[in-house]
Chains A and B, each alone.
Chain A
Amino acid sequence: MLIAAPEMLVLVMTCLILCVDTFLREDRRGIIHGLAMLTVVFAAIITLRHDPLVEGQAVVTAFNDMFVRDDMADTLKLFAYATLALVFVYAKHYLRTFGMFRADFYTLSLFSLLGVMLLISANSLIMIYLGLELSALAGYAMVAYDRGSSRGSESAMKYFILGSMASGLLLYGMSMVYGATGSLSLPTIAEAVRVSGGDDILLVVGLVFMVVGIAFKLGLVPFHMWAPDVYDGAPLAATLFIATVPKLAAFAMAYRILVGGLGDMHGDWQQMLSVLAVLSLVVGNLAAIVQTNIRRMLAYSTISHMGFVILGLLPGTTYGYGAGLFYVVVYALMSAAAFGTLILLSGQGKDVTELEDLKGLNQHNGWYAAIMAMVMFSMAGVPVFVGFFAKLLVIKAVLDAGMLPLAILAVVFSVIGAFYYLRVVKLMYFDEPDTDLRIEAPIDFSAAISLNGVLMLGLGLFSGSLIALCMASFPA
């Protein structure tokens, strides 16, 4: 079998969807949704398939060593498919409600998925850049998906300009690393750094620029400015996508560059990441408290979650990488459920934007309120929800490395963060509704969001296998 078979499938299917769409009557667009879902499902099957070529080898590379397939890549890709499938189901309902149900959303998401997959499997700086741009460009377009919305266009512009700048910085850093090591291939770079001991000013400066690029992609403070505006300005379906799938790739990108390429400069990037992590936890949690807009609140909460993910990478241990991977996967699922609920509440020509819009949800529909409450408790890190285990693993990894102050800071700020998650629960459960909200959702939507919500609890109660999967994704 081909090593990059899932990627090829996604590419072919995306192009097919593009073609099919031109021949499709407007009322038959459901087919596009079906095709997109099929793509994701088949990509998952191919990824899971026992591959005779890969058999017995933990790591296989292709395309002149530009592309790598290892356990981490497979794990991340599988969760990218799963999250994207949820995104498709949620987005379909949203796009239909708001009269934006066109094939573009699907082709853009799938192209972005392709970028995400390439980034996850990147083994060379070129491939990292290609994957990053492919996923980001599709993302910019998705933010501007609602052509009539000036806020959407503004957000897209902001996202695009800041994103381009970050890409530029990343490229600049790459060029320096290339200058210092003479190679674009990550294993070769790793070898060169090992030989030179990383004691090269050019390399360190290059590292700084690349860390900036990574930080932008993850949305870490102080490179987070785009996140609240984009989350708020984009149509909810686009926000839903941007908040979930690309974060998986951003984690992979950080891992590939920092650990795969510049692992021997661990001492250098550990310090940079510490600052980013601390700032993200502090600013993300504190800024989220004062938001009245739930999408901006979730954006800041994402920033603090990404701070946790970076904390997992910090110690430079396989345990920590596993913890970071677990965190980012769990985050993607939590985030999907949170934005899914917002989509559920959007209707009558209005997106949910304000926290107040959630008022009295428990009176309207106890089950959906329970789902959102589970997501909020999970994000706050309250046991036995899965978010707790994510935080637990990261804190353990940090403590293992003897960084007690960081661990204390992380737990204290997760308590501060609990406040704004509790506020959401408060609005849903303790307040009376002031509008006569009618919640209607197609059956596939309610099934997906129910599954997603139950996963918060289920993955918490039976977290063992997911933890094991994430831990096993990194060579000891």
Chain B
Amino acid sequence: MPLLSLLIWLPILGGVAVLLAGDQRPAVARALSLLVTVVALALCVPLYNGFDTSSAAMQFVEKTVWIETFNVNYHLGVDGFSVPLILLTAFFGPLIVLAGWEVIQTKVHQYMAAFLIMEGLMVGVFSALDGLLFYIFFEAMLIPMFLVIGMWGGPRRVYATIKFFLYTFLGSVFMLVGIIYLYNQADTWSIQAWHDLPLGMTAQTALFLGFLAAFAVKIPMFPVHTWLPDAHVEAPTGGSVILAAIMLKIGGYGFLRFSLPITPDAAASLDGFVIALSLIAIVYIGFVALVQKDMKKLIAYSSVSHMGFVTLGIFIAFGIVRSTGATQGAGLGMEGAMVQMISHGFISGALFLCVGVLYDRVHSREISAYGGVANTMPWFAFFSVLFFMANAGLPGTSGFVGEFMVILASFRANFWYAFAAGLTLILGAAYSLWLVKRVVFGEVGNSDVAALEDINRREAVVLGTLAVAVLFIGLWPAPLIELMDASVGELLEHIVQTKLN
């Protein structure tokens, strides 16, 4: 069974079907979307079960010629880096549909279709093994997101969505030039073949910077993160969730799939630069998050800060290899980065859903518009406190695992890296808990809050599922780490070998 193709095309075709359901039948659109996403999630069971964690090789490979004159193949496959992210994507599918269930009232079919198509495209990004195919999924994803933010977003949605589109588009065209260059050199679009392609230092540096332009914007890294707060603030809840939970991860995935293995020497020589940017993101953006008045903005900045851990964990590997001469320790950082990606997916998704719950009731995202929510919404308070604690990296939640692994790894490279990264434990706690204090606890702030109703069953299901996920990864991360272990090891073996000559 072509499992990956099913995971890609079932949501996309499902999205088309939902579109055909039309404007007049929102109930049909909702039910069909839920069905499609649940089936897609169910398809992940054979994916997970059939995945051989002891092997770093690509699995579930599908390969068909797509554009013959141009050597483009429809080439799919997954390894330890892509499986967790695909699972994450499919996991969020039904949640997004449920989160928008009665909140979205206009153009329901287009809303649901956009998310379904996006889900398929994102799975495509994570499973493409053909460079051009990857790029196509990578770019095509922008269209539904552009429409989602622009059509169902807040007051400044047009500005935010065009900024989002153009930023990402500008970043990725440099990557396009890069992959065309690689194709001209290697005469194939196969990413795996590119991994083994010898390249000179100049070419590697140029390619590395091209990839960096694409992925740094996507993840996003300081200083090209400025589109993210705007996009998050204006996007509808579902859009924010997908953006934070999955789309940002594509940047990190890109580093692991392209930058490191294709241009290892350039990555090794420029790792200081990326690490510096990551640390700035962790510390400086952490402070920026502290002063936000808008809840979504705060979470957005916190995302940038947390994604700094991902890039730090990935690029710290070179420093560790240099200082210890062995690759064992480097794996810790890289696995930490992957765990951080998954965990941040759950936590940030959950946080945006929490804000969405409040926003749907009060129609404000300002922190000052709330206060004492716990008095009227005890269950909501329970969930949001849990998720904000996880965001602060509380042990026992998934937020702790990834951050701890990365900090531990960075000790082996440089004490000061670890010191700066460790600051996030303080900063993250500060901005998360301060927000909780101002919004959830205290006296009932105003009449709006007094009139709040607690979360309904639909919201409880969504938040409860995420709470389970956050705690599961936090208490028992072993299955997740096991998934990626072999691939991380192989990648490390690969990047310590020079590709010059």
Interface of A toward B, CB cutoff 8 Å: 362, 366, 377, 382-384, 388, 392-393, 395-396, 399-400, 404, 407-408, 411-412, 414-415, 418-419, 422-423, 425-426, 429-430, 463-464, 467-468, 471
Contacts and interface: CB of A to CB of B under 8 A. Distances in A.
Given A411-B174, A429-B147, A429-B151, A396 B180 contact: yes
Contact of B66 (A388, A430, A464): A464
Contacts of A418: 165-166, 169
B69 A467 contact: yes
A430 B158 contact: yes
Contacts of B147: 425, 429
B169 A471 contact: no
B184 A382 contact: no
B151 A411 contact: no
A399 B184 contact: yes
Given A366-B110, A396-B183, A415-B169, A468 B136 contact: no
Interface stretch (B138-146, B255-263, B442-450): B138-146
A395 B176 contact: yes
Contact of A467 (B67, B107, B157): B67
A430 B147 CA distance: 8
Interface string B123-163: 00000000010011101101100110011000001100110
Contacts of A362: 107, 110
B23 interface: yes
Contacts of A407: 177, 180
Mostly, the A contact residues are helix
A412 B166 CA distance: 11
A382 B143 contact: yes
B177 A392 contact: no
Nearest to A408: B177
B180 A429 contact: no
B382 interface: no
A422 B177 contact: no
Contacts of A377: 143
Nearest to B173: A411
A411 B66 contact: no
Contacts of A411: 173-174, 176-177
A354 to B, nearest CB: 18
Contacts of A382: 139-140, 142-143, 169
Given A422-B162, A429-B147, A415 B142 contact: no
B297 to A, nearest CB: 22
B18 to A, nearest CB: 12
B166 A426 contact: no
B68 A468 contact: yes
A430 B106 CA distance: 12
Contacts of A366: 23, 110
Nearest to A404: B177
Interface of B: 23, 65-70, 72, 107, 110, 132, 135-137, 139-140, 142-143, 146-147, 150-151, 157-158, 161-162, 165-166, 169-170, 173-174, 176-177, 180-181, 183-184
Nearest to A468: B69
Nearest to A374: B143
Contacts of B142: 382
A399 B66 CA distance: 22
Contacts of B174: 408, 411
Choose among A418, A430, A463 the residue with the greatest number of B CB atoms under 10 Å from its CB.
A430
Contacts of A412: 170, 173
A383 B135 contact: yes
B170 A415 contact: yes
Nearest to B22: A366
A464 B71 CA distance: 10
26 contacts: A362-B110, A382-B139, A382-B140, A383-B135, A384-B140, A392-B180, A407-B177, A411-B177, A415-B169, A418-B166, A418-B169, A422-B146, A422-B162, A425-B146, A426-B162, A429-B151, A430-B150, A430-B151, A430-B158, A464-B65, A464-B66, A464-B67, A464-B72, A467-B69, A468-B69, A471-B69
A315 to B, nearest CB: 12
A472 to B, nearest CB: 8
A24 to B, nearest CB: 42
A230 B136 CA distance: 36
Q: Can you list the 8 inter-chain pairs with the closest CB atoms, starting with the nearest?
A: A383-B136, A411-B173, A464-B67, A430-B150, A468-B69, A383-B139, A415-B170, A396-B180
A19 to B, nearest CB: 46
Contacts of A415: 166, 169-170, 173
Choose among B136, B142, B184 the residue with the greatest number of A CB atoms under 10 Å from its CB.
B136
Contacts of B70: 393, 464, 467
A399 B180 contact: yes
A404 B146 CA distance: 30
Contacts of B150: 425-426, 429-430
Nearest to A464: B67
B143 A464 contact: no
A377 B141 CA distance: 12
B70 to A, nearest CB: 6
A383 B66 CA distance: 15
Nearest to A470: B69
A142 B371 CA distance: 69
A229 to B, nearest CB: 29
Contacts of B165: 418, 422
A425 B161 CA distance: 11
